[in-house]
């Protein structure tokens, strides 16, 4: 792959320059909080949509922060003298962070975007000029090797990743290094791979400019750069998951037939995971005529792994093709060429009998259980990010339920999870509600219907009494046979535990 048409990048082997540049950026409040205060919410939000006019209007002054915004975010040439008051200009020019323009101006060679870490860290994501916002509706670039910055997909993956301390983490298809940067907080060693050598270079810049530990950077596709004897406690990937005819754009197109890249990534991950380790991906998958999409995804799960797969969105093939043709800016070119490309996408889907494409999250966990758990579900509703703890707790509950039969559940103690509310729906004046709904206000924000016994049971659970004793009390209260109630209720208890409404005590 050639990147000859893309501009030269700053030197990645000059950590002392990156450290000086970082100090200067922080000293001028070139941070996520600083930008929000300077620009205001509308202009700041517009930047996330790659709209620069509001920010240009807000940076007409000559303060250090305004200078840096125009230089690194808006890609505007700035007078040399103004930049020299803020940055170590000579070192930045010599190492390639800046270039001279005309006789008395300088310009940035890369986009540098402030990015707030989960614990208030001031990080910086480096990307190619004009590519700070990644993902659909983004840059409109047709450069094969272009490296994108932060997008909705990358922040989603960062939010759902389990953040327990690990000795070794692997970021497959690192791009601008966002996942590697997050992993550096809780992993002793981070390995980052990418098919695009330019992405590895930019990842090194992102880590250095963010003050994070350097990663072991390796060039290659998927697991090719990983030795057979290497295993990890955490594997993450925001892969090039777009299902397209061909592979024009390295940063997004899978380059394999249909959803084979995502399938291969999932299937090959099992043998690379250590016992108890997690592999977490974003993925697209095909909805094929005559095939259950959930069965398709279950077939991807490698042996020896529990899995939790959540479909967040489904698009028909016309919506999907339009989305990614616009992402590449094809709609702004020749109309006939755009229509020919559109037609090619639909031909590809028709040949594969694909009627729609799903998008979502895939989490694997290596287990020694003889009966791995595979949960595949559709959940298009709002969730509360970050979800890493909720993902870990899901698998904790899987372990619990796997080792507790109905008798053990009745002997166990439970408490109602925090921030659960009960909603009753029925006709005005009716003695009993038509149905009762328990609703979460944290994590996945699930809602589930329960009967009056289930609602009463959940409301009483405070960890002090066993489930069986609570049911006996309810049976006496409502005049039911306690034996029959004990017999039919464990399935409802199991569901409430599985979905996180009830937490085992002790």
Model confidence pLDDT, tens digit, residues 156-190: 999 999 999 999 999 999 999 999 999 999 999 99
Nearest by Cα to 159 from 378, 391, 375: 391
How far is 347 from 190, CA to CA, in rounded Å?
41
In three-state secondary structure terms, 399 is helix
* Segment 261-276 mean pLDDT: 97
Report the pLDDT value the prediction gives residue 427, as an integer from 0 to 100: 81
* Segment 142-160 mean pLDDT: 90
Q: Which residues have a Cβ under 8 Å from the Cβ of 160 and sit 6 or more positions away?
A: 280, 361, 363, 385, 386, 387, 388, 391
Report the pLDDT value the prediction gives residue 183, as an integer from 0 to 100: 98
Q: Where do we find the tokens 């031909």?
A: 347
Backbone phi, then psi, for 274, in 5-degree steps?
A: -80, 160
Q: Which helix (H) or strand (E) holds 183?
A: helix 178-183
Confidence of residue 4 (pLDDT cuts 50, 70, 90): low
pLDDT at 358 over 80: yes
* Dihedral, CA of residue 470, residue 475, residue 477 and residue 478, to nearest 10: 140
Distances (CA, A) of 8 to 19, 95, 319, 405: 20, 11, 36, 62
pLDDT at 139 over 90: no
Whether residue 107 contacts residue 82, with contact meaning beta carbons closer than 8 Å, is answered with no
Q: Which two tokens stand for residue 370?
A: 């003889």
Beta bridge partners of 272: none
pLDDT at 135 over 60: no
Per this entry, what is the length of the chain?
Answer: 506
pLDDT at 411 over 50: yes
pTM of the predicted model as reported, rounded to 2 decimal places: 0.94
């Amino acid at each position: 792959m050639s990147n000859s048409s893309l501009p030269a990048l700053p030197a990645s082997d000059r950590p002392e320059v990156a450290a000086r540049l970082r100090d200067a950026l922080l000293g001028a409040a070139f941070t996520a909080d600083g930008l929000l205060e300077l620009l205001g919410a509308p202009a700041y939000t517009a930047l996330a949509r790659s709209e620069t006019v509001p920010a240009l209007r807000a940076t007409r002054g000559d303060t250090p922060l305004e200078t840096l915004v125009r230089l690194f975010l808006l890609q505007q040439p700035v007078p040399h003298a103004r930049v020299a008051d803020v940055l170590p200009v000579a070192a930045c020019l010599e190492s390639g962070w800046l270039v001279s323009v005309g006789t008395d101006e300088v310009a940035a060679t890369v986009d540098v975007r402030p990015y707030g870490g989960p614990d208030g860290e001031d990080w910086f994501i480096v990307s190619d000029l004009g590519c700070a916002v990644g993902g659909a509706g983004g840059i409109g670039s047709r450069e094969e090797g272009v490296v994108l910055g932060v997008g909705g997909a990358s922040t989603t993956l960062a939010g759902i990743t389990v953040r327990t301390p690990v000795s070794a983490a692997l970021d497959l298809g690192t791009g601008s290094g966002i996942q590697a940067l997050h992993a550096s907080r809780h992993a002793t060693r981070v390995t980052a791979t990418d098919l695009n050598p330019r992405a590895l270079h930019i990842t090194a810049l992102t880590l250095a400019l963010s003050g994070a530990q350097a990663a072991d950077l390796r060039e290659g596709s998927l697991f090719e750069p990983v030795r057979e004897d290497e295993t990890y406690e955490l594997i993450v990937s925001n892969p090039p998951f777009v299902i397209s005819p061909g592979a024009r754009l390295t940063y997004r197109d899978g380059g394999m037939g249909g959803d084979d890249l995502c399938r291969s990534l999932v299937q090959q991950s099992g043998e690379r995971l250590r016992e108890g380790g997690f592999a977490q991906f974003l993925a697209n998958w095909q909805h094929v005529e005559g095939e259950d999409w959930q069965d398709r995804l279950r077939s991807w799960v490698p042996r020896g792994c529990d899995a939790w797969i959540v479909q967040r969105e489904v698009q028909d093939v016309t919506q999907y093709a339009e989305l990614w043709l616009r992402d590449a800016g094809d709609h702004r070119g020749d109309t006939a060429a755009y229509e020919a490309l559109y037609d090619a996408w639909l031909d590809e889907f028709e040949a594969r009998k694909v009627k729609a494409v799903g998008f979502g999250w895939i989490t694997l966990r290596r287990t020694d259980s003889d009966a791995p758990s595979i949960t595949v579900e559709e959940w298009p509703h709002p969730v509360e990010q970050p979800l890493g703890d909720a993902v870990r707790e899901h698998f904790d509950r899987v372990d619990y339920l796997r080792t507790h039969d109905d008798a053990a559940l009745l002997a166990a103690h439970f408490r109602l999870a925090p921030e659960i509310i009960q909603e009753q729906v029925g006709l005005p004046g009716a003695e009993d509600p038509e149905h009762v709904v328990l609703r979460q206000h944290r994590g996945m924000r699930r809602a589930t219907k329960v009967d009056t016994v289930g609602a009463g049971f959940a409301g009483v659970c405070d960890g002090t009494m066993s489930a069986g004793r609570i049911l006996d009390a309810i049976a006496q209260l409502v005049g039911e046979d306690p034996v029959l109630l004990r017999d039919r209720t464990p399935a409802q208890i199991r569901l409430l535990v599985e979905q996180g409404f009830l937490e085992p005590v002790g």
